[in-house]
Amino acid sequence: MTQDRAPFLLLNDEQEMLSKTAYDFIRERAPAARIRTFRDSNDDVGFSRELWYEMAELGWLGLQIPEPYDGLGLGFFDLAVVLEQSGRELMPEPFVSTLLLGTQALLLGGNEEQKKALLPGVTAGKTLITIGYEEAGSRGGLSSPTTVAKKSSDGFELSGEKRQVLDGHLADRIIVSAATSDTGYTLLLIDPTHKGVTVTRQSRIDGLNAAIVRLDRVPVKSDAVVGGLDAGAFLLEAVFDRASVGLAAQMLGASEQAFADTIDYIKEREQFGVPIGSFQALQHRAVSVYTDIALTRSAVLAAARAIDESPEEVPRLASLAKAMASETFMHAAKEAIQMHGGIGVTDAHDIGFYMKRAQAAYMTFGTPFQHRRRWAELHGY
Amino acid sequence: MTDLEEFRAEARAWVRENAPKSLWGTSGSGPFDGYWGGSKCEETDPDILRWRDLGIEKCWTAPAWPEEYGGGGLSREQENILHEEMKAIAVPRPVAGQGLAMFGPVLLEYGNDAQRAQHLPGIARGEVRWCQGYSEPNAGSDLANLQLRAVRDGDEFVLNGQKIWTSHAELSDWIYCLARTDPNAPKKQMGISVILVDLDTPGITVRRIDLISGYSPFCETFFDNVRVPAGNLVGTENEGWTIAKAILGHERSSIGRSIARQPGSAQREVVARARKHLAAPEGAIPDPLLRDELAALGMLEEAFHLTLARIQQSAESGTPGPEGSITKIVGSELKQRRFELGMQVAGTQGLGWEGPGFDEDDLQYTRDWLRSRASTIEGGSSEIQKNIVSKRVLGLPEGKK
């Protein structure tokens, strides 16, 4: 907190209601066990289109999208309220790809035509947009891409390979980062059905859907630039900040649910004739998870608030939220498995999915170590 | 402007106009930071005394107490705002200490009118210093095991036994004690009473305790046939445990908040030490592992402050959440991590006890580091706090301790 007054960290009445509605809907309709079902049935989509449409009808996909693009024009804070609940059941629906990557890139850097063409479809649940930034060896960071956009007569010719493009298997549009000069790179909006684009689905531990996107001399018009030419790094960093906060909100929800399930379990499970939750060795560790979650909740809410109200605070607080949520979710997931004992390491039990998602989320949009380094830089040391 | 915004403007103006400039930037501004007072107080700094007098004149030493007892009659929200404004320029409270933070609020709730009229104005004016008689050699975490006997004899209680960790007893005027008034009660939590004792009463001996950090305000206090008027009983005889828990609640939240200091101050302090000891006056701290630990400390500090703010906001909204219970656990651990890291960066220059070859700041820091080991013990150990959270917040079943 740099000002002498802290940001407001509570939900207002409408947000409390939204949170409750989302909790009920998601807990009933979208249990984490679906991850196993999608995996074992080799489902082509990997999530539920129907559920995505239903959430669009509830207004959740357009919460933050401005009214001219059919959204509700509320804040990122409101979106974070829903994201937290979606994290509870590890929903594989395209929250991260479409609402946190594609939409934020358009809101922050898109021109009027791009926003008009795509955001109403996002609000309606019809359009999926993602960003391809990860490459072989890039370890998920913001480093310069090896994908190249060579200048052509009326635009660019795009060549390279993006990996683990979230929901790349179904995305209607993919924004890819590509080097456009020796010093800079640019974000370019492409239609994956175009000539020269090959999409190959990938399978990850955590149930999120991803694909390899190969670009072989793909012709792209100059109006495909999102943000400025050679200014992709700046824009992508701003998008990652928001995506980090949104992902942190999901991690917060996931930590809360894994923890709640674990507390229920240790109250029920008996050994030596008593519930194992009566053992102090487990109680104190449970309190340690509870404490981490409480601290993380404050960090996530402060960062979400900053996106709406104090943009200058966003980089610092996004790094805080992402680093803390990553550590907390990992801590909660590890303790969840340990306290569940043998059943916790079986594929039949859902708690293991929390561990897998914790690892994936930990590595996405910067590890805690990277965010602490950035925090130090932002604080001048 | 809302009423509270108006009050903030008034409080800000008053604090900035009246707090002596020499005190700006010198304090954590917590409930224990400021003039502790009492008849044995040897404070001579004219600015501290002046600040005390101005606070008393404005009735803002005990801002939320009723005016008839020397308080300011403010609401909780206004009191918080006033203290935030002091914190914003890091000045101490005009009057501080256990009387204001812990004993006074409990006397307001459980005392009778005569007791309030007798004791509260002196606390608000910083004239009477109070200390706490809780722990005993065999009653630490298991506080209810206390054995200080109080036997009714006509209009008096006669006290025999010993208290320990009676901080500031040497410089205090009065002590509020937990005493056993019914040794035959069916449960050890029953049969305990809260009794107020003037420390000048014959039969009381106070002895100082040195800590691993050297001098400390902690004392042992011995009671040998100490006769106390029966009117000094607070609340109902044998039902003092409820009051004891209320005081502990005030103590724990006070400790959590007093540890909090200024947002960002722990990080600034340790970064400054790292710059000094690693000869890195500017730019990135050269050791990336150390820098990572510094950032982790800074992040924990920030999240802790945000959490304190969130707890306060939810209390003000009328629906306090359960998270207040963790402030002491987190605050004390943050304090220890800060000193550990501060010692780490000092290397062998942090090993001085006194004398030549070490600078004053480092010598003091080392003492403070040693003192910080007590923060997870005093006022309810972290283990006891975790027992409370697991039972009351998480609803886990009681087990063997």
Q: Please name the residues between 66 and 95 in chain B that touch chain A, using a CB distance below 8 Å.
A: 84, 87-88
Task: Give dist(CA A380, CA B283) in Å, integer.
Answer: 7
Residue ending a domain, among B96, B112, B140, is B96
What percentage of residues in chain A have a pLDDT greater than 90?
Answer: 96
Q: What is the CATH number of the domain that holds B364?
A: 1.20.140.10
- Label residue A25 by pLDDT band (50, 70, 90): very high
The stretch B387-395 carries a mean pLDDT of: 93
Q: Which of B251, B269, B293, B301 is catalytic?
A: B251
Q: Is residue B240 classed as helix, strand or coil in its secondary structure?
A: helix
Contact A298 B310 (CB under 8 A): yes
Do B342 and B268 lie in one domain? The reply is: yes
Residue B338 has pLDDT above 80, yes or no: yes
The proportion of chain B whose per-residue pLDDT surpasses 70, expressed as a percent, equals 97
Contacts of A280 (CB under 8 A, 6+ apart): B387, B399, B400, B401
Q: How far is B333 from chain A (nearest CA, A)?
A: 12
Contact A2/B264, CB-based, under 8 Å?
yes
Question: How far away is chain B from the Cα of A327, in angstroms, using its nearest Cα?
Answer: 11
Residues B221 and B279 in one domain: no
Are residue B288 and residue B199 in the same domain, yes or no?
no
Question: Distance, in angstroms, between B281 CA and closest chain A CA?
Answer: 10
State whether residue A287 sits within 8 Å of chain B by CB. yes
How far is the alpha carbon of A325 from chain B, nearest alpha carbon, in Å? 11
Distance CA A12, CA A307 (A): 17
The CATH number for B156's domain is 2.40.110.10
The mean per-residue pLDDT over the stretch B354-360 comes to 95
Q: Looking at chain A, which residue has its C-alpha nearest residue B391?
A: A283
pLDDT attached to residue B13: 97
Contact of B132 with B175, CB cutoff 8 Å = yes
Within chain A, strands assigned E span: 129-132, 148-152, 155-166, 173-179, 185-190, 197-202, 210-221, 225-226, 270-271, 274-275
Contacts of B290 in chain A (CB under 8 A): none
Which residue out of B89, B273, B327, B396 would a mutagenesis test of the A interface target, given it has the greatest number of A Cβ atoms within 10 Å? B396
Strand, helix or coil for residue A26:
helix
Residue A295's pLDDT band, with cuts at 50, 70 and 90, is very high
B251 belongs to the catalytic site: yes
Interval B90-113: pLDDT, tens: 999 999 999 998 899 989 999 999
B222 and B267: one domain? no
Q: What number is the average pLDDT over the span A223-252?
A: 97
Which of B96, B119, B149 is the last residue before a domain boundary?
A: B96
Nearest to B396 among A10, A277, A296 (CB): A277
Return the pLDDT at A139. 73
Among B283, B299, B326, select the one facing A291 at the smallest CB separation: B326
Q: What is the mean pLDDT of residues A217-232?
A: 96
Per-residue confidence (pLDDT) for residue A375, from 0 to 100: 98
pLDDT confidence tier of residue A1, bands split at 50, 70 and 90: low
Q: What beta strand segments (E) does B165-277 contain?
A: 174-180, 192-198, 204-208, 219-229, 233-234
Together in a domain, B331 and B365: yes
Largest CA distance in chain A: 79
Judged by a CB distance cut-off of 8 A, whether residue B313 touches chain A is: yes
Which range, of A369-373, B3-7, B26-30, B65-69, averages the lowest pLDDT? B26-30
Q: What is the pLDDT of residue A284?
A: 97
Quick one: pLDDT band at residue B399, thresholds 50, 70, 90? Answer: confident
**Lowest pLDDT segment from B222-236, B323-337, B340-354:** B323-337
B280 in the same domain as B385:
yes
Domains of chain A: 13-128 (1.10.540.10), 131-230 (2.40.110.10), 233-378 (1.20.140.10)
Percentage of chain B lying above the pLDDT 90 cut = 82
Say if the Cβ atoms of B386 and A324 lie within 8 Å: no
Q: In this complex, which of B295, B317, B390 lies closest to A372 when CB atoms are compared?
A: B295
Residues B131, B175 contacting (CB under 8 angstroms)? yes
Asked if B28 and B78 sit in the same domain, the reply is yes
Higher-confidence residue of A140 and A208: namely A208
| pLDDT tens by residue, B266-285 | 999 999 999 999 999 999 99
Q: Domain for residue B119, yes or no?
A: no
pLDDT grade, residue A3 (50/70/90)? very low
DSSP 8-state assignment for residue B39:
T
Residue B170 lies in a domain: yes
Domain that holds residue B69: 3-96
Domain assignment of residue B398, yes or no: no
- Could you give the CA distance from residue B328 to residue B375 in angstroms, rounded to a whole number? 9
Number of domains in chain B: 3
Residue B113 lies in a domain: no
The confidence score (pLDDT) of residue B249 equals: 74
Both B195 and B137 in a single domain?
Answer: yes
> Mind listing the pLDDT tens digit for each residue in B64-85?
999 999 999 999 889 999 999 9
Instruction: Give yes or no for a contact between A303 and A245, defined as CB atoms under 8 angstroms apart.
Output: yes
pLDDT in tens, A136-191: 988 766 778 999 999 999 999 999 999 999 999 999 999 999 999 988 999 999 99
Phi, psi of B8 (to 5 degrees): -60, -40
| pLDDT surpassing 60 at residue A130 | yes
Task: Please check whether residue B401 lies inside any domain of the structure.
Answer: no
Subunit contact A299:B303, Cβ cutoff 8 A: yes
Note the pLDDT of residue B318.
75
Together in a domain, B92 and B149: no
Q: Does B305 share its domain with B389?
A: yes
Q: Under 8 Å CB-to-CB from A193, ≥6 apart: which residues?
A: none
One domain, residues B235 and B271 = no
Predicted confidence (pLDDT) at residue B286 exceeds the cutoff of 70: yes
- Domain termination site, one of B96, B122, B154: B96
Q: Is residue B256 part of a domain?
A: no
Check pLDDT > 90 for residue A298.
yes
pTM attached to this predicted model: 0.90
| Three-state DSSP state, B165 | coil
Which one is predicted more confidently, B11 or A142? B11
Same domain, B350 and B382: yes
pLDDT at B28: 84
A242-277 residue pLDDT tens: 999 999 999 999 999 999 999 999 999 999 999 999
Average pLDDT of chain B?
A: 93
Whether residue B116 is contained in a domain is answered as no
Residue with tokens 């489902």: A43
On the question of pLDDT at B352 being above 60, the answer is yes
ipTM of this complex prediction, to 2 decimal places: 0.96
Q: Closest partner residue to A381 among B284, B386, B394, by Cβ? A: B284
Q: For residue B30, what pLDDT is reported?
A: 86
Tell me, yes or no, whether B104 lies in a domain. Answer: no
Cβ within 8 Å, pair B310-A291: no
